[in-house]
Amino acid sequence: MDAFAITVEHLVKSFGPIRAVDDVSFAVATGSTTAMLGGNGAGKTTTLSMLLGLLLPSSGAIRVLGEDMVRHRYRVLPRLNFSSPYVDLPHRLTVRENLTVYGHLYGIAKLAGRIAELTADLDLGEVIDRPVGKLSAGQKARVALAKAMLNRPELLLLDEPTASLDPDTADWVRSFLTEYQRQCGATILLASHNMTEVERMCDAVLMMKQGRIVDQGSPAALIERFGRSTLEEVFLDIARDRNKPAEAAQ
């Protein structure tokens, strides 16, 4: 098994004059939970979209699970999955119909059994035959997670996995992900604005600003380097360009 589930070198994505991702290089250790942090517009979603093969890079190299993502993404897509609050599942289909459609798309064997397992794991029994459009945000988030788990991914890319969830549901989702990772040794890369979540779940943090990675390390190492007591304070220091320690400058 490769030491790194993801390696990115000199990745650039331009939209006309905007360099949304501006010469970014990083590696995500296999089996880690790594967070991508940064203010609005820092380039997190654009980076995740390139890792998923949804957007083509303007330049640079991406290897995901040992494969070149630009040239061979169809080899690797069956081994990963993603969840994002910005991607809606078809509203008129029930939860079961949605999971069935995606299960067929992913070529899952014994699909009915897998859906039954996920219904139990994600506590979807009450909503399984209801249209997705009629569910609450928290219920939709659990359905989106079930969709992301259908193929038992080795790599999970999550865009703000707990955005708009109440603290109880958010905590439940975090525990679910941590348990999945413990059982399967999966790698998780998530974009988040929730610093407490990142401190609790993540081994490593990539700090993005204006399309670049401006600092990285474990939450504890970053907090120590910035002389702060929480990751939220480190985030604000970086966002506001203050108290920047010499070794953080790149």
Ligand X SMILES: Nc1ncnc2c1ncn2[C@@H]1O[C@H](COP(=O)(O)OP(=O)(O)OP(=O)(O)O)[C@@H](O)[C@H]1O
Residue whose entry in the numeric block shows the structure tokens 């992301």: 148
- Choosing from 12, 29, 45, 176, the residue that interacts with ligand X (CB under 6 A) is 45
Q: How far apart are CA 226 and CA 237, in angstroms?
A: 8
Q: Give least dist CB 57 to ligand X, A.
A: 13
For ligand X, the closer CB: 58 or 181: 58
Cα 124 to Cα 120, 135, 142, 160: the distances in Å are 7, 11, 8, 21
CB neighbourhood size of 130 (10 A): 15
Nearest Cα residue to 145 out of 186, 199, 110, 193: 186
Q: Give least dist CB 191 to ligand X, A.
A: 6
For ligand X, the closer CB: 40 or 183: 40
- Choosing from 44, 73, 147, 174, the residue that interacts with ligand X (CB under 6 A) is 44
Asked if 33 interacts with ligand X (CB under 6 A), we say no
Asked if 40 interacts with ligand X (CB under 6 A), we say yes
| Interface of this chain with ligand X, residues 4 to 23, rule: CB under 6 A | 15, 18, 20
Residue 213, both tokens: 């990675």
For ligand X, the closer CB: 25 or 229: 25
What b/e sequence results for 49-65 when a residue is b if at least 16 CB atoms lie within 10 Å of its CB, and e otherwise? bbbbbebebeebebbbb
CA atoms within 13 A on the CB side of 124: 27
Site map (CB under 6 A) of ligand X, residues 153-172, x = contact:
--------------------
For ligand X, the closer CB: 103 or 211: 211
Site map (CB under 6 A) of ligand X, residues 53-92, x = contact:
----------------------------------------
**Chain-centre distance for alpha carbon 84:** 8
**Where do contacts with ligand X occur on this chain (CB under 6 A)?**
15, 18, 20, 38, 40-46
